[in-house]
Amino acid sequence: MSATLKSLRALSDPTRLRIMALLERDELSVNELQEITRMGQSRISTHLGLLQESGLVQSRREGKWTFYKLNSNADGAAPEFIQLAVRGAKEMSEHSVDQLNLKRILARRNEQAQVYFNQVAGRFDRSYGPGRSWEAFGHLLLRILPPLVVADLGSGEGLLSELLARRAKKVIAVDNSEKMVAFGANKAKKNGLKNLEFRLGDLENPPIDAQSVDLVILSQALHHANDPAHAVASTHKILRSGGQVMILDLLKHNFDKARELYGDHWPGFAENDLHRWLEAAGFKKIEVSVVAREEQPPHFQTILAGGVK
């Protein structure tokens, strides 16, 4: 089969067009392509094999990983076919989501500190060590953090707020339950936490002045919001320039009973949803990644998203 016919065959499948458009930005591994496209590994490997055979894609080994990229040394009509493939991919409905997921993957790859943390976290529970606990690590990290003005939105009874208040300059805990706010306020007073203030309000319009806080936290609260995108946008308004938002929530799941058992309004969120909402709100340096997975069914996964104003 001629090189031209091989190239035409390679361009005949929409999935291969999507892959080529992704490889136009940067080289990617099979696992990264799998995460971006939500396709199976064997399916992606098959498509990559055909693209490599046609001369449109090349690969290189790095340790145990194989990375693929567009063949910059392709001769003949191959460069024209590559341009045609990328142009065709941009006309597909999946293109915008693919590019958003790609942006997230590349940002995560470049954040070496996050990679290191994942490696440490993966080793943490493998062997017992006296005095080693997440609680202890949490207190250690709090001592390192500078004193900030923090907004804990959807705070509940204020467990996290109370912990943060022991280090923060001020913590404003917001919840839409009068009982929770009263309980948290009484407990803060009992524990002598004068820098912890509870306020009655909702996530989408928190009762906090614009540009008045350094850090906004939404810890397992966003899936209770009526309009999550609007709730994310509201965090941008109350942050000072250079302030950060941190969202800890569930990765999208299929456990339908969560609404009945826990009062959840949303079944978690896809990574690209959080990235898109943060970007639309005006945040920069956005990072989104899965940070934990429960061992017991239904195996809820926890997603951490953040951005800087």
**Tens digit of each residue's pLDDT (9 = 90 or more) over 46-89:** 999 988 888 888 998 877 788 999 887 777 777 888 888 888 88
pLDDT of residue 112: 53
Domains 3-94 and 112-308 alike in fold? no
Which residues, 6 or more positions from 59, have their beta carbon under 8 angstroms from its beta carbon? 48, 52, 66, 67, 68, 69
Query: Would you state the structure tokens that stand for residue 199, as one six-digit string?
Result: 């306020």
Cα-trace Rg, the chain: 23
Domain boundaries, the chain: 3-94, 112-308
pLDDT of residue 185: 94
- CATH 1.10.10.10 for the 3-94 domain, yes or no: yes
Kindly report the three-state secondary structure assignment for every residue of the chain: CCHHHHHHHHCCCHHHHHHHHHHHHCCEEHHHHHHHHCCCHHHHHHHHHHHHHCCCEEEEEECCEEEEEECCCCCCCHHHHHHHHHHHHCCCCCHHHHHHHHHHHHHHHHCHHHHHHHHHHHHHCCCCCCCCCHHHHHHHHHHHCCCCEEEEECCCCCHHHHHHHCCCCEEEEEECCHHHHHHHHHHHHHCCCCCEEEEECCCCCCCCCCCCEEEEEEECCHHHCCCHHHHHHHHHHHEEEEEEEEEEEEECCCCCCHHHHHCCCCCCECHHHHHHHHHHHCCEEEEEEEEEECCCCCCCEEEEEEEEC
Helix axes 95-110, 14-25, angle to 10 degrees: 40
pLDDT of residue 113: 47
Distance of CA 116 to the CA centre of its chain: 17
* Share of residues in the chain with pLDDT > 90 (%): 54
Q: How far is CA 250 from CA 123, 178, 214, 227, 271, in A?
A: 23, 25, 24, 16, 10
Position 302 pLDDT exceeds 50? yes
pLDDT of residue 195: 96
d(CA 116, CA 128): 21
pLDDT of residue 161: 93
Q: Which residue has the higher pLDDT, 110 or 144?
A: 144
pLDDT of residue 132: 60
Q: Which of the residue ranges 88-92, 256-260, 282-286 has the most confident prediction, judged by mean pLDDT?
A: 282-286
Position 11 pLDDT exceeds 80? yes
pLDDT of residue 127: 54
pLDDT of residue 284: 96
Q: Which residue has the higher pLDDT, 138 or 128?
A: 138
Position 1 pLDDT exceeds 60? no
User: Which tens digits make up the pLDDT trace of 223-261?
Assistant: 999 999 999 999 999 999 999 999 999 999 999 888 888
- What's the mean pLDDT when you consider all of the chain? 87
pLDDT of residue 77: 75
- Going by pLDDT thresholds of 50, 70 and 90, the confidence category of residue 123 is low
User: Which tens digits make up the pLDDT trace of 147-167?
Assistant: 899 999 999 989 899 989 988
Q: Which residue has the higher pLDDT, 64 or 128?
A: 64
Question: CA 294, 296, 300, 305: dihedral to nearest 10 degrees?
Answer: 0
Rounded average pLDDT over 20-31: 90
User: Which tens digits make up the pLDDT trace of 176-202?
Assistant: 999 999 999 999 999 999 999 999 999
pLDDT of residue 286: 94
d(CA 215, CA 173): 12
pLDDT of residue 167: 87
Please tell me the CATH code under which domain 112-308 is placed: 3.40.50.150
Decide: pTM greater than 0.85.
no
Position 146 pLDDT exceeds 90? no
Position 92 pLDDT exceeds 80? yes
Q: Which residues pair with 248 in a beta bridge?
A: 219, 304
How many CB atoms are located within 10 Å of the residue 246 CB? 16
